Amino acid sequence: MIPLSAYVAVSAVLFITGLLGVLIRRNFIIVLMSVEIMLNAANINLIAFSHYLESMAGQLVALFIIAIAAGEAAIGLAIIIVVFRGKISTNVDEMNFLKW
Amino acid sequence: MVLVFFAYFALASIAAGVLTVSLKHPVHCGLALLALLVHVSGLFILLNAEFLWAVQIIVYAGAILVLYLFVLMLMNLKTDDRYFHSSYLYFLVPAAIGSLLVLALLVRSPFGGAKGDATTEAILEHGDTHAVGIKMFSEYLLQFEIVGVFLLGAVIGAIVLAKTPRPASKERKV
């Protein structure tokens, strides 16, 4: 029997990996991929607790998180296309034209 | 046997996550993300969540990842020489120390709480999909409808954002 803390540890490591990706990568698409890694880590946590505490609520919330991740990916990639059309770069350091 | 599968899926998903963050070419990062999603779905199987396994494969690996790869293909990116933040070591070292501390705390803490009524035997009687469906359309109906409206808004927003702007007509240009 695998202890619950093993799943929580895997999820924490994945979450930190995604967080580091958001912080250190410069390509906006990779930043969005790192956000997906973090959402997956949260899903592992929710489903592990749902299994070990014998409640369905965690699986339902994980399902909603997947739906929201789909919406986030669609909107984020549309924004990248708009930015890329005007200014040929996906570097997050150069996306500052809303600054004043 | 379950332990072997768990070790494989956990280590492979962590390795794929690290590769996603550290590889240079964006398409390679996308493929590493695909490996991560498939191995995480393996963890879902070990937790008796077959419906979420199917949703993970269909929605994440089938739809979201293909969307990412399409955008990467359309943009034809050049890989920069400097693809990390200039001072990423300042993030990396404190993150490593802090995450080791958090991991030590997490592994030692006893997790517990009030147990619900969805025992493994109760779920396996009709299957996980049945249990998820019964719960979703009784207790979580409002949230389900809200997610539906949210997805509609996301679809409309994506279409409006990504549409080619119409060239200004001649009459309006004074």
Residue B53: CATH number of its domain: 1.20.120.1200
What counts of helices (H) and strands (E) characterise chain B?
8, 0
The CA radius of gyration of chain A, in Å to the nearest whole number, is 17
- In one-letter notation, the amino acid at residue B96 is A
Count of domains observed in chain B: 2
Could you tell me if B6 and B43 are in contact, meaning their C-beta atoms sit under 8 angstroms apart?
Answer: yes
Residue B103: predicted pLDDT: 84
Residue B130 lies in a domain: yes
Window B:29-58, CB contacts with A under 8 Å: 29-30, 33, 36-37, 40, 43-44, 46-49, 51-52, 55-56
Mean per-residue pLDDT for B158-173?
A: 72
Average pLDDT of the residues in A38-65? 92
Residue A93 lies in a domain: no
Residues B72 and B132 in one domain: no
Q: What is the CATH number of the domain that holds A44?
A: 1.10.287.3510
Residue A24: give the domain boundaries: 4-86
Torsion of CA A13, B110, B47, A22, to 10 degrees: -20
Opening angle at CA B38, ends B134 and B22, nearest 5: 135
Picking from A82-86, A91-95, B57-61, B167-171, which range would have the lowest pLDDT averaged per residue? B167-171
Which residue type occupies A9? A
pLDDT computed for residue B83 by the predictor: 63
pLDDT digits (tens, 9 = 90+) for A68-85: 999 999 999 998 888 888
CB of B56 within 8 A of CB of A66? yes
B16 within some domain:
yes
What pTM was estimated for this model as a whole? 0.87
Range of the domain at B140: 123-162
Predicted confidence band of residue B170 (pLDDT cuts 50, 70, 90): low
Cβ–Cβ contact B143 with A under 8 A: yes
Query: CB B21 to CB A37 under 8 A?
Result: yes
How far is C-alpha A19 from the geometric centre of its chain's CA atoms? 9
Q: Would you say residue A36 lies in a domain? A: yes
**pLDDT above 70: residue B174:** no
